[in-house]
Chains A and B, each alone.
Chain A
Amino acid sequence: SGSAMAERLSVLLPTYNERDNLPLVVWLLVRTFRHSGIDFEIIIIDDGSPDGTQEVAKELEKIYGSDKIVSWVVISVLLSSGTAYIHGMKHATGNFIVIMDADLSHHVSLCFMYGGFILKQKEGNFDIVSGTRYRGNGGVYGWDLKRKLISRGANFLTQVLLRPGASDLTGSFRLYRKEVLQKLMEKCVSKGYVFQMEMIVRARQLGFTIGEVPISFVDRVYGESKLGGNEIVSFLKGLLTLFATT
């Protein structure tokens, strides 16, 4: 119904040492896009991984075609999400950009890209659709009580201080209109968790509309890399900075 808008989704996958997970993520994405008939491309931005991630990316490019899989290597000592997205976007030909993690934590079921992100975007003509672990049937697998408490506590503090109008600010599974992401990249300067938070806060400032869709976060590495005191301190610093400057 209405005008048929030509839609192409570019998925940006920043990677570091993901030679095992990368083919699986790509396979899942290709499957869900083909199932829903969505035009897509997957852009892999590798931070000079020493484990052979780039070789795997090149093989995937051969298997699926280089119009579908594009891989770039960025050799950088301090590659942050922001830098990876900037590089990725230079080569993105889609009009929507999906950012996500390449470690299989962002669960992509068969219909998720269409039934989740795209339908939601169309529903409200949103500039951004943010995946949330805290609403609807969104959630997490593999976290103990302590981790969940820290997550909910930090999120509560964020809601009180920033009143951001989005329930999950530190999530990194989102859909952006390409122009919106470009605009935000110019403005956002933080790193890590805080970068994701800053994107949403700046988006609100600039008057962009944000929709939400529940996502499942399957954490298979939590046992190996517990949330450290350092991360909590830098999160608080970042939160207070955003509180004082936005």
Chain B
Amino acid sequence: MTKLGQWLCGLALLGSAWAALALAPPGLQPPAPLRQALLPLPIYLLVAFGCYSLATVGYRLATFNDCEEAAAELQEHIKAARADLRRRGLRL
């Protein structure tokens, strides 16, 4: 199954469970407090996911390593390489 397929299945499952409980006809409704919590649940989850995404990307951005050492090392490498290659006869 493709990832899209997995998402659709998951959403269909959760969606129908939510609809069955939250939008049930009067005779089959769960108790009022549960219904009150259930109805806005999808929105809450969406907002929670949004917050999680922002926090995660923000954290990863803040901890993104700057490779100062590698850059400095590269400059040294380039000097050494140029000198050695000239010795070996390469016209640079």
Contacts and interface: CB of A to CB of B under 8 A. Distances in A.
A180 to B, nearest CB: 22
Contacts of A216: 67, 69-70
A244 B4 contact: yes
The CB with the most chain A CB atoms within 10 A, among B66, B74, B78, is that of B74
A60 interface: yes
B30 to A, nearest CB: 31
Interface residues of A, number: 40
Nearest to B82: A24
Interface string B73-85: 1100110011011
Nearest to A139: B65
B57 A142 contact: no
Interface residues of B, number: 29
A10 B7 CA distance: 40
B53 to A, nearest CB: 7
A141 B68 contact: yes
Given A246-B2, A246-B3, A27 B61 contact: no
The CB with the most chain B CB atoms within 10 A, among A28, A133, A141, A244, is that of A141
A145 to B, nearest CB: 8
A76 interface: no
Contacts of B85: 23-24, 27, 63
Interface in A102-123: 104, 107, 109
B1 to A, nearest CB: 10
B70 A141 contact: yes
A139 B57 contact: no
Nearest to B56: A156
Contacts of B74: 104, 107, 218
A237 interface: no
Interface in B42-92: 53, 56-57, 60-61, 64-71, 73-74, 77-78, 81-82, 84-85, 88-92
A153 B71 contact: no
B69 to A, nearest CB: 8
Given A139-B70, A141-B66, A149-B61, 4 more contacts: A109-B70, A139-B65, A141-B71, A243-B4
Interface of B: 2-4, 53, 56-57, 60-61, 64-71, 73-74, 77-78, 81-82, 84-85, 88-92
Interface of A: 20, 23-24, 27-28, 56, 59-60, 63, 104, 107, 109, 133-134, 137-142, 145, 148-149, 151-153, 155-156, 160-163, 216-218, 242-246
22 contacts: A24-B85, A27-B81, A27-B85, A28-B77, A59-B89, A59-B90, A63-B90, A107-B74, A140-B67, A141-B67, A141-B68, A142-B71, A148-B61, A148-B64, A151-B64, A152-B57, A161-B3, A162-B3, A163-B3, A217-B67, A246-B2, A246-B3
Q: Report, nearest first, the 9 A-B pairs whose CB atoms are least far apart.
A: A139-B65, A216-B70, A216-B67, A27-B81, A141-B71, A141-B67, A107-B70, A244-B4, A139-B67
